[in-house]
Structure 1
Amino acid sequence: MQNVLSRLSDAQIRAEQVYAYFGKSRQGYFQAVARMGKLKATMEVVESQVDQYRSTKDANAGSRTLYYNLNIKEQYNIGVNKFEKLMSDYGLILRPVYTRIVTTKASSRSKKYTNLVAGLKVNNINQVIVGDLTYVYKDGQRYFVFSLFDLYSAMMVGIYGGERMRAIEGIRPLEQLINLRGIEAIKYCIHHTDGGSQYFSNRYMDLLDFVKMRISVSGNCLDNAYAEQRNSMIKHHFLPLKRGRNEIEFNKGLAEIQYEYNTNRKQNRLGWKSPLEFENEISEQKYEQRCKYLTIKHI
């Protein structure tokens, strides 16, 4: 700008005329320059924070997730819409991840069960637990990942990865759920999955019967959207940052993911709270005071 003004001066055009043309005073111009310099310095710091978060917490974190999990408003007094635009302007936007993984081998045994959750209103934890299965390649090894989530709070209540896609691996997250919540807390809770054979083995169903959980099955083996979305997040956002040279190391990484996700990962549906923060908040409310209902239209 100063070079431009210098050339205009040679042409006998006063700087004040230029400022007036652009609707700024000389003071306003230099204030704008100062703001631009401050914003650039701020975004340099933000860029380093984004890189750090994506390299340690979530490899594919989007702008809004970064905004709330990095506390951008509190740190820099920048609104979410402006932050999203700045992320785009500074080339920090990632391409969206699209995936559909088919790991389901339907069990004929599942056909006797129906979908208990479609149209259901949920307003507390331990009412619906959803499960799904995906797979990932780490360090040249394929692992199948079984996970269970509390539908209301999005709490990851169980997760386990194995080299084989068997009921013995699938039952591990269910055992974690029982240890975490307690048998009485999940009594009559709905256990919702697709019709995958791992969930309908004798051993798995015997344990569901023992804790008196109710079995719900999606109408289509590919129609288990909530759990599929969570597994996609595990696969594309968290697991790229972990190692898996053997099953022990892989599950150590999954345990770290579970802790970070439940404790610190703020989510839009929870009012930008982590699952643990959300559960702590609703635990202090009386049942009749709880006004947040989650209506399950399609799962």
Structure 2
Amino acid sequence: MTTRRAVRFDRYGDRDVLYIAELPVPEPAAGEVLVAVKAAGINPGEAAIRKGLMHERFPGTLPSGQGSDLAGVVAVLGEGVTDFQVGDEVLGYSWQRSSQATHVVVPASQLIPKPAGLSWEQAGALYVVGCTAYAAVRAVDPKPGETVAVSAAAGGVGTLVVQLLRRRGVRVLGIASPANDEWLTAHGVIPVHYGDGIAERLQEAGPVDAFIDLFGPQYVQLAVDLGIPPDRIDTIIAFDKAAELGAKAEGSMAASTREVLTEMAGLVASGDVELPIAATYPLDRVADAFAELEQRHTRGKIVLLP
């Protein structure tokens, strides 16, 4: 195998800028591993980066690859790598926007063994949502018996956040559409519908001790308006609003460690935490996958299968 297929874009824009390129298979440097990718999750942040909306915060070099999440099989070891052997099943992440491809090189330190009980789809979707959910829950420091509200509670990160909160004995108010009532209720979460009157509905279900925002700045403002202390508010997306109001903005980068990823993989593999897979797409249909994702009504994760 001398060539690989990889998602690329040469300019910022809508989904039509995405294409599949034939590129040389890279050689892993010292401390790196070449992985034959079996599954690669997609995330809303990747759409924002592709559109140029994150250029000031996360500048990139064009042409660019895409993707952080990955799971696959170790194909080649770089010099000095002793943690893995060729043929090992692994999951992890790339910080080079490169995982949406048939093959990717990543540092061995950014991989962990894939638990046998974890499907390829779950393994390839886990890093961003798993570490983000872990960081967001940790940021608001919930105590048993407290009430925590979560916006976008049925999305990729939200489905994990609400379950991690429930595991801590927290009363969870899950803000989502009525279509998610059944799933949220089945997981011990009290559904609260978004839209006009959301503040009143939260007050009726409250009082709310902490707030995790997974959607946008309006919810950070709502949390402050509800009287929640800024140090009990965390957002993974509304960075400017968080800075303005003194709220936290801790996401995946705050918990990107092997230890956290191993803990989250174990929880999903054992069935203690569910990671819903909403849909899978072949690499050639990456634009279709993002079309579904960008409707912002996905429960759980969408995954590419290279």
TM-score of the superposition, structure 2-length normalised? 0.26
Would you tell me which structure has more helix in proportion to its own residues?
Answer: 1
**Structure whose residues are more often strand by fraction:** 2
Of the two, which has the highest radius of gyration?
Answer: 1
**TM-score, normalized by length of structure 1?**
0.27
